[in-house]
Chain A
Amino acid sequence: METLPQQPGILTIQLALIAVLLPLLAAVINAFLRGKTNKAAGWVSNLAILGTCLLSVTVFFKVWNHTEVHQQWLWFTVGDMEFHAGVLLNNLSALMLSLVSLIALPVHLYSTAYMKGDGHYKRYFTYLSFFCFSMLALVVTDNLFLFYAFWELVGFSSYLLIGFWYTKPKAILANKKAFIINRIGDIGLLTAIILLYAQYHTSDIAQLFSNGTTGAALAAQMSGNAQWIACIGLFLAVAAKSAQFPLHTWLPDAMEGPTSISALIHAATMVAAGVFLLGRFYPVFTPTELTVLAVIGCFTAFMAATIALTQNDLKRILAYSTISQLGYMVMAMGIGAYASSFFHLVTHAFFKCLLFLVAGIVIHEVQHIKDEYQLDIDPQNILYMGGLRKKMPLTFIACIIAGFALIGLPFTSGYLSKDSILIQSFEWAEGKGLLHELIPVGALVTSWLTAFYVTRLIVKVFFGEFRLMEFDPNIKLHISDGNWQYRVPIMLLAICCLFPLFSYNPVLYEKAWLFNGFPLITGLDRVNIYHTIIPVLVNIAAILVMYWAWAVYMKKKALPLPETGFLFRFSYHQWYIDELYERMIVKPVMALSGLARWTDRNIIDGFIHLLANIGIAGAKIAEWLDRNIIDGLLHWLASLVLAIGNFARRFQNGRVQYYLFSMIAVILAIFIFKTLF
């Protein structure tokens, strides 16, 4: 066919492949470096991700809004079936490719300073590079089975990094929890992939979803049961990876890992893999299933936001806020706001990563104070912080920008993406009845709750007086924003949280360039009143809520909810979901395994032990026979010989006269004998 037009495509594919493989190369090099704290590891990983970043952006500009590039190679053959593996670069994967590497670059730089004193510096960067490789490969692969493999690798590297400080029992519990919950999702994804393969006999994502197949057509082709089982499987995968309602409990615990890891994996990239999966497999879902998705996303967003209101652990608040924002994205997928969902994914990645990096700096500095004065405090607890804005102005400004983006105030990127989701949710619910209206209203309430907890967080950390002074008035604060490895990443990310990166118009999301890249665009025409009234309403209410929160926490007015009230406790204990799982699932499973253990120990082992004891008894009898009969005969013979010998040796006593006497006695005896006979 035409070879000439394919030339730039092949170049792009090669660039993308190199971009994906560079972090793997870095991980391999780091694995073979000598020394646990080898500083070279950091620079190897940083160089690799810098290269990846440049290549990804190049690939992005080559692919974005051009024809998609798809290159395949024969992977293996089973019978007549050929399996191809390759690279698929369309708008979606090019966007994700550059997003992941753009987020990973500042995090890598930040990590060189954050992990500086750690005893396992080299291992950290090995894992980090390995994660980057898995995530980038997941984004560009075109084969369902390879997709599954990288999906697993991403989960595995997340497991390694959550449990990075493996001497902390809490970290070990957290990484086990994350791994087990992700297994549930993995089973779902595998089921869905097998069903899809059984239906279409191809594992090629491009062939399955990109040939203009509309959702309804693809869904209609599948038989009823297979279709909804596949969708449940996909939903489980999304819920486990992106921490949606029934399977979200691992994400807050995953904050036991290093903060830079939380920023990259558990806020910006890996947890977005679930939403990315939804985007890839979007045509499989029927409208009803999409509605269910919207309901679950909305519920998750609301639930996580209410929990975030009362948490005291800095990273835990951010983790629940991540769950809440992921809920937004899933809801947006559910209501058909496909492009908005990805838009929010991109903006969220930047501002949530920034928030976590800021949290990392704050925790790092509080940890320093803790170590210096040997205080018995939790360095992540926001109740011990306060007044840090004077000491860390840059961190403070970055946090304000990221916080405002999270709330969705104008001039930030969050405003553009969040409002597009809200507006489209109202448009979607219009005319569908009162129950459907709950979804946009829930999303709206969630955005105000977000405003409240973000304000609470910022006030508790950066305003007021430093509360540790109350413990020990002698504390001298010589904390700062840190060195350039801290400053440069947060400045970069803070710039990415503002509107100019996404749209020239700071208030109208419809102008954002990102929407041009997706096929299923809705809600771009300003046809109805929602496009004006909702942003205004949301933001005015959000500012009022923020003032309220400011008043509550800054001026020490009465709390909106008493701390002993049921609602407060319900939120503080995270809706008792962990306790519920503990009682409903963990306990029965433990009881079942206890029963299995008992059966194993007493019945199966008992039988084996019985056999063993019979064998031992037989051996004992044989031993007795051997010892007493066979050996006994020999010993008896030996002692007989010994007795004879002892008898004979009595004559050899060395006394000459005795010899002589014996001789005469014998001669006499012979003579007597001869005489007699």
Chain B
Amino acid sequence: MINLSDFLVVSAGLFCTGLFIILTKRNAIQVLIGIELMLNAANLNLVAFGRYDKIANGGQMFTLFSITLAAATTAVALAIILNVYKRYKTIDPDKIDSLKD
């Protein structure tokens, strides 16, 4: 029997992996992948908690919106990364620091 806590453990693992990727990767696209992982961890949580709302299926609905929004934000983020590359000839987030004081 798979309990709610198992979902939550997998979700937490996914979230931590995503966070680790975000903090350590030297490539903006990989950072974007980390964000997606964290988002999916949240989605997994929503779906897991959705079993407590069997009438409206609020969890699943919310997840659908979230996935759609994630696709949109990813598209925007990729466009930003493309522009950043054009301007700085790099997508290493550590190198792009011209907004510092």
Contact = CB atoms under 8 A, between A and B. Distances in A.
A515 to B, nearest CB: 116
A654 B23 contact: no
A661 B23 contact: yes
B23 A656 contact: no
For A652, A654, A660, A661, which residue has the most chain B Cβ atoms within 10 angstroms? A654
B29 interface: no
Interface string B23-56: 1100000010000000000000000000000000
A655 interface: yes
A34 interface: no
A167 interface: no
Chain A interface size, as a band, is: 10 to 19
B99 interface: yes
A661 B22 CA distance: 9
B93 A655 contact: yes
Nearest to B26: A657
A653 B97 contact: yes
Interface string A195-216: 0000000000000000000000
A660 B24 CA distance: 11
A604 interface: no
B98 A654 contact: yes
Contacts of A658: 94
A195 to B, nearest CB: 96
Nearest to A653: B100
B22 A654 contact: no
A657 B99 contact: no
Nearest to B31: A657
A657 B100 contact: no
Interface string B63-101: 000000000000000000000000000000110111111
Label chain B's interface by main secondary structure: loop
A662 to B, nearest CB: 11
A424 B99 CA distance: 122
A656 B22 CA distance: 10
- Contact-residue size bin, chain B (C-beta under 8 Å from the other chain): 10 to 19
A654 B97 contact: yes
Contacts of B98: 654
Contacts of A654: 96-100
Contacts of A660: 22-23
B8 interface: no
A581 B27 CA distance: 108
B12 interface: no
Interface string A638-673: 000000000001001111111011001000000000
A657 B94 contact: yes
A664 B101 contact: no
Contacts of B24: 657
A253 to B, nearest CB: 86
Nearest to A656: B93
Nearest to A658: B94
A239 B31 CA distance: 119
A553 B94 CA distance: 118
Contacts of A657: 22-24, 31, 93-94
A652 B100 contact: yes
Contacts of B93: 655-657
Contacts of A655: 93-94, 97
A649 B94 contact: no
Contacts of A653: 97, 100
B49 to A, nearest CB: 22
A646 to B, nearest CB: 11
B56 to A, nearest CB: 33
Contacts of A661: 23
A278 B19 CA distance: 127
A656 B23 CA distance: 9
A663 to B, nearest CB: 10
A642 to B, nearest CB: 14
A408 B43 CA distance: 149
A33 B24 CA distance: 97
A656 B35 CA distance: 14
Contacts of A649: 101
Nearest to A645: B101
- Which of A656, A658, A660 is the most central at the interface, judged by chain B CB atoms within 10 Å of its CB? A656
A655 B93 CA distance: 7
A654 B100 CA distance: 4
A660 B97 CA distance: 14
B47 to A, nearest CB: 25
B92 to A, nearest CB: 10
Given A657-B93, A657-B94, A652 B23 contact: no
Contacts of B100: 652-654
Contacts of B19: 664
Contacts of B23: 657, 660-661, 664
Contacts of A652: 100-101
B38 to A, nearest CB: 11
A652 to B, nearest CB: 5
A472 B22 CA distance: 114
A654 B98 CA distance: 7
Contacts of B31: 657
A490 to B, nearest CB: 101
Contacts of A656: 93, 96
Given A654-B98, A660-B23, 9 more contacts: A652-B100, A654-B96, A654-B99, A655-B94, A656-B96, A657-B94, A660-B22, A661-B23, A664-B23
27 contacts: A649-B101, A652-B100, A652-B101, A653-B97, A653-B100, A654-B96, A654-B97, A654-B98, A654-B99, A654-B100, A655-B93, A655-B94, A655-B97, A656-B93, A656-B96, A657-B22, A657-B23, A657-B24, A657-B31, A657-B93, A657-B94, A658-B94, A660-B22, A660-B23, A661-B23, A664-B19, A664-B23
A-B pairs with lowest CB-CB distance, top 7 = A654-B97, A654-B100, A652-B101, A656-B93, A655-B94, A654-B99, A661-B23
